[in-house]
Structure 1
Amino acid sequence: MKLSKTLFIISISLLFGSLQAQDSDIKKPDFLQYENSKWVDSIMVELSPDERIAQLFMIPAFSNKGEEHTQEVLKQIKEYKIGGLIFMQGDPKSQLELMNDYQLASEVPLIGAIDAEWGLGMRLENSISFPYQMALGAIQDDDLIYDMGVEIARQIKRSGLHINFGPVVDVNNNPQNPVINYRSFGEDKENVSRKGIAYMKGMQSQNLLATAKHFPGHGDTDTDSHYALPQINHPFERLDDLEMYPFKELINAGIGGVMVAHLDIPALDSTGAPSTLSKPIITGILKERLGFKGLIVTDAMNMKGVAEGNEPGVVDKDAVLAGNDLLEYSEDIPKAITEIRNAINSGLISQAEIDERCRKILAVKQWVGLDQYNSIPVENIEEQVNSPEAKWLNRRLVESSLTLLKNENSLLPLQKLDTLKIASVSIGATKETEFQKALNLYTKVDNFQLSREADDSEISELKEKLEAYNMVIVGLHDFSIRPRNKIDLANGVQSFISELAVQKNTVFSLFKNPYVINSLENIEEADVLIEAYQDSELAQELAAQLIFGGVGASGKLPVTVGEKFEAGDGLDVKGGIRFKYTVPEDAGMNSKKLGNAVDSLMHQAMNAKATPGGVVLVAKDQKVVLHKAYGFHKYSDTIKVEKTDLYDLASVSKISTALPAIMKLSDEGKFDLEAGIDDYLPYFRNSNKEGIAFRQILAHQARFKPWIPYWKNTLRDNGSFRWNTFKKDSSARYPVRVSDELWLHRNYKKKIFKAIKKSPLEAEAKYKYSGLLFYLLPDIVERLTNEDFIKYINENFYDRLGATTVTYNPSEKFELNRIVPTENDFNFRHEQIHGNVHDEGAIMMGGVSANAGLFANANDLAKLMQMYLNMGDYGGIRFIDESTLKDFTKTQFPENNNHRALAFDKPYLEYRGEKSNTAKDASAESFGHTGFTGTMVWMDPKEDLLYIFLSNRVVPTRENTRLYKLNTRTQIQQALYDSIEE
């Protein structure tokens, strides 16, 4: 037989009597110190009894609903003197403008709240969403959760509000839970408690009130209380040990607020009343047994879990009688005030009890600073809400949540890129995903997409294509804004996933709720399985970086997934073997200083027509912190520069082609810096260059002439070409393409070498830049290796680095719209140079020279340069011995006033101001090179700093020297140093 409500309250009180909380064991909320303050007293004196009731109410406010809604809110503020507002949809700027207006209209400062469980982005556009709590539950460093609490508090306060209805501390032990699920830290009550406390303490350290929800625990239900009243049928002992455990822990830690859920829990109240209206639950358990003295808040009073069958106004009165302090989203304020007044008159509650709750709310207002309220400036709010520090924190949270559930044979991070032909398949996508774009930062990956409703013919076609690959990377994407706990894929697509999972060398990354794993047959058999928790761009980007070793994985699964994986599962893998793509703050640099300076200098250069566009890449500590494209391919062009575009590197080729080969051969004892050209090219014997050591030549003090105008040597006095030089059409004798109407004799390369051999020497052995040796180096490499030069450098360097755009003669491999054009050549080729090397000598070598001829995009070039900066190591591979690189990158002959290293440029021995070749703060250990087309690469081991500048300043012609006059490249380089935080 059911107990009456009165008898039940008596019995529940007897049950809990021996378990009554001791105040000494509980940290009281900080705001309670103000309950009897002068300011609270002064407000209480001014409020009528009904106005004190009104302070218990919080109504919804939207900043995207227009003037009619605004006037309705203003009316309730002025007529009833309500206590506060809960902001729903909108944007930070509009919200703050409205909050300022509402505060101005209110005689008592309004408390402002928001549901920002994962940050302002949960409710407001143009603001940051941090990871959902399920992802946060995977993180092993709770200090990060504290930092997130601090940052969310900063953003909420900046937007004019004072309470966050978070954290969710429900223990999600029901995979079918439709409303909590990914909003929970997981199924482990200890983990939920630790993270809830960290989040709470972070917020409350900034005097933002945190609200633990949804008491007494909404985790074990398959009903959404927004639409119906869920019932939880567990005995008291289980509820006390599990569901209520995190709330007890947070109360003991000093949480300021607790939100009560709409739940039917027979073991706690057999009357069937929703917990929001249950005095046994709110007063008997939360207040008396658990000793909670803080602010008790209802869940939204318009939710069907409480509103169904209960009249507006009357239901609010019942919530107050049950023990709630603050009622959220009341639907009828005047009726509620009347009902509560009638309850006071009937003796169901006293005015003194109402006054006590009103004081509590006013104490919160004082604690959050409303006793000294001033209108909050709106200017720059969105920039400040979306600060670089907040973005960096968001990256750290997502990165730390990545959970590696399988890694057979330590497949991740992927190694031996030169042996892999990789395809990526994004399932659930219809266009290239951020995941796929990020994969391509590391090596060439061919991208495919498969819709969630794909039919058998589409799947069959894709299977056939995948047969050509020995590595498949699968991204499983979500189809909704939030990660649902169900799979929504056609049967054929699910079967396709199942087939892929059992194949070797298949990597799966799930951008979905972890519970979905249980619905995917064979997914646990995959060689690699990454759980990324949600389908955000950031999660996709960082999962790709994990696969290639840019970042590591340390996350642990916060929930059990059927019989496949248990809570706590997760493998640790270290990152940092290849580039990490991140924000400047991650490397101790200031985003604003760096970004503003680079943007300003690039726009200055483009406005001055020093270059039509360019790409800048900056990496510090092997972290790419800036990678940006500017402008257009040509001044009159509509083709915008993309970060993936290839540029003619000009003399940067000198340190990017034969030089790494020479260093490797030096390591192997096959090349000697003290030998001469004639030791490796016998036809230089008996020449004036015989016996001159490579160390002297590479340091540019071997008395070599700077250059030889080879193409001019092909001309007769009348301007026509000499016999056996050029023809207008190609043939077996004239196979070397210089332009469509200019084909060079097959043996002309010998004439170039002969010209170098016979060229006179300078009179004095001092520094004089010369490119002559670099025409010869490819031949030397071929003689020493017995391999084709291009094949050798590809196999030993570019392919292993994943630098797949570093190439000669790029038009043979890439579309022209990916290759940035250079000069309008009015003298030799009589065309705009596009897709071929700008340098005349290099094009006469078939485009293949160590002097010039190499093309690359900034990202791929950076891999080679980072290997140099790492003193020979990148991607877990040792390319060149450290001692060799240190020798090649040090100044060789400073006693001869020569600042150069071996092929590498170095800072001048003394800084020369604007005439210097580097930034003022570039260290003496730094090294790099510049190129005639307007390129520059520079590495500084002291700061572990890499700088790449690509431009085509020779547009329209080489006479355009504005880039030099503006000193753009070195000014940008100095900006990098200026942005490094002390």
Structure 2
Amino acid sequence: MKTRFYTCLILISCSFTKIFAQQAGYIQTLGQQNKWVDSVYHKLSRRQKVAQLFMVRAHTNLGKAYEDSVAKVIETEQVGGVVFFQGGPGRQANLVNRYQHLSKVPLLIAQDGEWGLGMRLDSTLSYPYQMTLGAIQDDNLIYKMGQQVAYDFKRVGLQMNFAPDMDVNNNPDNPVINYRSFGDNKYNVARKGIAYFKGMQDAGLLTTAKHFPGHGDTNVDSHLDLPLLPFTRQRLDSLEEYPFREAIANNISGIMIAHMSIPALDTAKNRPSTLSRKIVTGVLKDSLGFKGLVVSDAMEMKAVTKYFPDGDAELQAFIAGNDIIELSLNLDKAILKIKKAVRKGLISQAEFEAKVKKVLAAKYWAGLNRLQDANPAGIVADLNRDATRQLIQQLSDAAVTMVIGSSDGIRLNPLQKTAIVSVGVDKYTVFQQELGQWSTGCHLFTVNKSTHVATLNRMLQMLKEYDQVYLSINDTRLRPASKLDYSSGVKEFIAALCSQNKTITSVFANAYTIAGLPGIEKSAGLLVCYQMSDDLQRSAVKVLTGQIKPTGKLPVSVNAFFATGAGNSL
């Protein structure tokens, strides 16, 4: 009887251990002995251990010759991972399988998916941009989004998302972050980022907050040159680093380092933060206590290659404290230089071993110790499932922000003579078509980005005859910039139309564009909808027809009229 009792206790204990292992985050598993990690590590040569720290670029839209060249690098160098860029989901799943079979140690495969697979892959869905999400008041919706993104990533053979972006975007002219940020309020950025990465991590995906220590207040694109962050240590501690500090406290699995010159943290001239041991090890690892994966931003970017050519950048990034070095332009040279640096003791053997084992531990946590092929069968249908579409519509509904007017005051009267005007387009929009169905007597008008002034003046006269005018401002560009590319005549037309005291305006563009449309504040109602997606256009129609209330809040300060937090649902 006693023997049976103890056997039951042992079985129960083993079950709880198994459950904890399944639920434990990546950070919690670090420091624990892992037989698989130790076994793989001891089988690798020094060169192969160094190679585990590198990720190479891959595409599925550049043809077989390109795919074969990447395959050759994987097979020859036995790198640690791959970063996929543009292509399609079925092609990617097949190529992931091919590349995995070429590698003796399973590859850690990543992709940029700030708004899901749609950021890189055709035939997939895109979630709203992070600035749009920044307007949402229910963070649980963003957690659910994280879970769905994780499912999608794993479906195409990915284990890691280079997201979320946790930069505080307090510079409207930022050319590289901007709408990719949750906004300019550090608390909101932290909350939204944590909800997003927790959703992904709880669903078994590794995540990477970026771009430490904060890329939000720059006016230089680090893809093109080295940005300067000229602020004091106190400012950086209190503002830029805040979301990352909160992410660390909530067990983010990875952090990506920005390529920036930050004199307050490292006075070395033209040294990107990625290559600075004072920043990567001194600030991130030692001061902030981050134990997870430290990932460099792409080493092919001009912010790095302009000043550190021929594999020297990768060596400096390694010494600085990065655990994963992505997209080297000089892979063979870089591996040799790092191997030599390890042999000469430029970093301790213990630190080198910890880096490699951290990467291997990430692979184990992501399930690569029991690697299974990605299944391309039915993949497009699965990635376009109804549950995802419904969540995207929910997120869009929750983001719409009313900064002028009241729910009753902006509501469409179906019996009045109504004009629905869309600006910045050459054909009728989803907004016009959907809103038009609610009115018995409406007319649709379009204004392109450079419609002639004489035509605009005639239209203004015509629109005076309508009882209510619903105006939509649209940015049809792939990425919503801070300034609209409209002619001055079109901008004057918008101002004149808004001054007629019966115009309800909806902006399907970057919130910052409102600052470049003087006179828009005279609208009888103003909805900020952040981007031109079909879902957000349908959301605006729901608000204007009284189906939902607008609950979003501005995530950024636009100008003196519209500050962060503006928005009401009255």
- In the alignment, which residue of structure 2 is the partner of 1:438? 434
Residue 298 (structure 1) aligns with: 296
Question: What secondary structure does 1:542 align onto?
Answer: helix
Match of 2:487 among 487, 490, 504: 490
From 555, 565, 571, the equivalent of 2:552 is 555
User: Is the 8 Å Cα contact of residues 317 and 339 (structure 1) preserved in structure 2?
Assistant: yes
Q: Report deviation, 1:28.
A: 7.9
CA offsets per residue over residues 187-211 of structure 1, 9 Å max, x none?
1111000111100100000110110
| Whole-angstrom distance in 2 between the partners of 1:44 and 1:342 | 19
**Could you say which residue in structure 2 is the equivalent of 1:108?**
105
Deviates more, 1:257-266 or 1:456-465: 456-465
Query: Is contact 1:173-1:186 (8 Å) kept?
Result: yes
Q: Which residue of 1 aligns with 2:223?
A: 226
Q: CA deviation at 1:214?
A: 0.2
Q: Report the more deviating stretch, 344-353 or 526-535.
A: 344-353
Partner of 1:118: 115
Q: Which residue identity does 1:303 align to in structure 2?
A: M
Partners in 2 of 1:442 and 1:189 — Cα distance? 40
Q: Report what 1:451 is aligned to.
A: 448
SS of 2:110 mapped into structure 1? strand
Match 2:364 to one of 363, 366, 382: 366
* Residue-by-residue CA offset, 1:322-356 (whole Å, 9 max, x unaligned): 00000111112111111112212332123432221
The aligned residue for residue 181 of structure 2 is 184
Shift of residue 307, structure 1, vs aligned partner: 1.4
Q: Is the 8 A contact 2:425 2:446 kept in 1?
A: yes
How far off its partner does 1:29 sit? 4.1
Contact 1:28 1:293 in 2 (8 A): no
Structure 2 CA distance, aligned partners of 1:351 and 1:35? 19
Corresponding residue of 1:269: 266
Q: Does 1:529 align with 2:535?
A: no
Distance in 1 (CA, whole Å) between partners of 2:72 and 2:350 is 28
CA contact (8 A) 1:518 1:564 kept: no
User: CA 1:194–1:245 in structure 2 vs 1: closer, same or farther (change >3 Å)?
Assistant: same
Q: Residue type matched to 2:328 in 1?
A: S
- Note the alpha carbon deviations across 1:644-685, whole angstroms, 9 max, x for none: xxxxxxxxxxxxxxxxxxxxxxxxxxxxxxxxxxxxxxxxxx
The CA deviation at 1:545 is: 2.1
Q: Residue in 2 aligned with 1:286?
A: 284
1:130 aligns with 2:140: no
In the alignment, residue 301 of structure 1 is paired with which amino acid? M
1:296 partner SS: strand
For residues 414 and 376 of structure 1, the distance between their equivalents in structure 2, rounded to whole angstroms, comes to 49
Select which of 198, 203, 211 maps to 1:201. Answer: 198
Task: Report if the CA contact (8 A) 2:259-2:303 is conserved.
Answer: yes
Q: Is the 8 A contact 2:298 2:328 kept in 1?
A: yes
Q: How does 1:822-861 map to 2 (within 5 A)?
A: none
Taking the TM superposition and a 5 Å limit, the aligned residue runs for 1:292-371 are 292-371=290-369
Equivalent residues of 1:58, 1:83 under 8 A apart = yes
Matches within 5 A, 1:372-521: 372-407=370-405, 410-415=408-413, 417-418=414-415, 420-444=416-440, 445-521=442-518
2:186 paired with 1:169: no
Closer, same or farther: CA 34–66 of 1 in aligned 2, 3 Å: farther
Deviations 1:223-256 (A, max 9, x none): 1111111001110001000000000000000000
The CA distance in 2 between the partners of 1:252 and 1:408, in whole Å, is 40
Q: For the residues of structure 2 that align with 1:220 and 1:28, how far apart are their CA atoms?
A: 32
Q: Which one has the largest radius of gyration?
A: 1
- Spell out, residue by residue over 1:843-869, the C-alpha distance to the aligned partner (whole angstroms, 9 max, x if none): xxxxxxxxxxxxxxxxxxxxxxxxxxx
Contact 1:54 1:337 in 2 (8 A): yes
1:358: Cα distance to partner? 0.8
CA contact (8 A) 1:39 1:371 kept: yes
Select which of 66, 85, 90 maps to 1:88: 85
* Equivalent AA in structure 1 for residue 239 of structure 2: L
Q: Deviations over 1:773-831 (max 9, x none)?
A: xxxxxxxxxxxxxxxxxxxxxxxxxxxxxxxxxxxxxxxxxxxxxxxxxxxxxxxxxxx
CA shift for structure 1 position 522: 1.3
2:55 to 55, 58, 65: 58
1:288 partner amino acid? D
CA–CA separation in structure 2 for the residues paired with 1:342 and 1:477: 55
- 401 and 522 in structure 1: CA distance in 2 versus 1, 3 angstrom threshold: same
Looking at structure 2, the residues matched to 515 and 546 of structure 1 have their Cα atoms a distance apart, in angstroms, of: 22
Per-residue CA deviation, residues 252-272 of structure 1 (Å, 9 max, x unaligned), is: 000000000001111011113
Equivalent residues of 2:400, 2:529 under 8 A apart = yes
* Structure 1 residue corresponding to 2:74, chosen from 54, 74, 77: 77
CA change 1:531–1:214 in 2 (3 A) is: same
SS in 1 for 2:462: helix
The higher relative CO (CA closer than 8 Å, separation ≥ 6) is in 2
C-alpha separation in 1, matches of 2:506 and 2:367: 46
Partner deviation per Cα, 1:717-742 (whole Å, 9 max, x = no partner): xxxxxxxxxxxxxxxxxxxxxxxxxx
Q: Structure 2 CA distance, aligned partners of 1:34 and 1:86? A: 27
Distance in structure 2 (CA, Å) of the matches to 1:447 and 1:312 = 58
Question: Cα deviations across residues 670-714 of structure 1 (Å, max 9, x unaligned)?
Answer: xxxxxxxxxxxxxxxxxxxxxxxxxxxxxxxxxxxxxxxxxxxxx
Contact 2:406 2:569 in 1 (8 A): no
Contact 2:210 2:258 (8 Å CA) reproduced: yes
Give the aligned partner of residue 11 of structure 2. none
Match of 2:234 in 1: 237
Residue segments in structure 1 that go unaligned for 5+ positions in a row: 1-26, 574-982
Counterpart residue identity of residue 387, structure 1: R
If the length of structure 1 is used for normalisation, what is the TM-score? Answer: 0.55
Give the alignment of 1:651-730 within 5 angstroms: none
Asked if the contact 1:146/1:198 (under 8 Å) is kept, the reply is: yes
Q: Shift in Å at residue 487 of structure 1?
A: 2.1
Alignment partners' CA distance in 2, 1:384 and 1:94 = 15
Using a 3 Å threshold, how does the CA distance of structure 1 residues 330 and 32 change in structure 2: closer, same or farther?
farther
Q: Does 1:543 align with 2:546?
A: no
- Tell me, in whole angstroms, the C-alpha distance in 2 between the residues paired with 1:217 and 1:259: 10
Specify the SS of the correspondent of 1:258. Answer: strand
Secondary structure of 2:125's match?
A: coil
Q: In the alignment, is residue 246 of structure 1 matched against residue 217 of structure 2?
A: no
- Per-residue deviation, residues 4-50 of structure 1 (Å, max 9, x unmatched): xxxxxxxxxxxxxxxxxxxxxxx984363476311111111211010
CA 1:108–1:31 in structure 2 vs 1: closer, same or farther (change >3 Å)? farther
Assess, with a 3 A threshold, how the Cα gap between structure 1 residues 28 and 284 changes in structure 2: closer, same or farther.
farther
Q: How many corresponding residue pairs?
A: 545
Superposed CA offset, 1:601-654 (max 9, x none): xxxxxxxxxxxxxxxxxxxxxxxxxxxxxxxxxxxxxxxxxxxxxxxxxxxxxx
SS of 2:208 mapped into structure 1: strand
Q: What's the CA shift for 1:446?
A: 0.8
Aligned residues of 2:146 and 2:198 also touching (Cα < 8 A):
yes
Q: Does 1:36 align with 2:37?
A: no
Cα distance in structure 2, aligned partners of 1:248 and 1:294: 13
Moved more, 538-547 or 136-145: 538-547
* Residues 408 and 203 of structure 1: CA distance in aligned 2, closer, same or farther (over 3 Å): closer
For residues 568-587 of structure 1, the aligned pairs below 5 Å read 568-573=565-570
1:475-501 per-residue CA deviation (whole Å, 9 max, x = no partner) reads 111031111001221111111111111
Equivalent residues of 2:555, 2:564 under 8 A apart: yes
C-alpha separation in 2, matches of 1:113 and 1:231: 28
What is the alpha-carbon root mean square deviation over aligned residues? 1.4
Measure, in 1, the Cα distance between the counterparts of 2:476 and 2:244. Answer: 33
> How does the TM-score come out when normalised to structure 2?
0.94
Give yes or no for contact 1:31–1:364 (8 Å, CA) kept in 2: no
Q: Using the TM superposition, give the Cα deviation of residue 468 of structure 1 relative to its aligned residue in structure 2, in angstroms.
A: 2.4
Task: Write the distance in 2 (CA, Å) between the matches of 1:35 and 1:438.
Answer: 57
Matched-pair contact (CA < 8 Å) for 1:404–1:531: yes
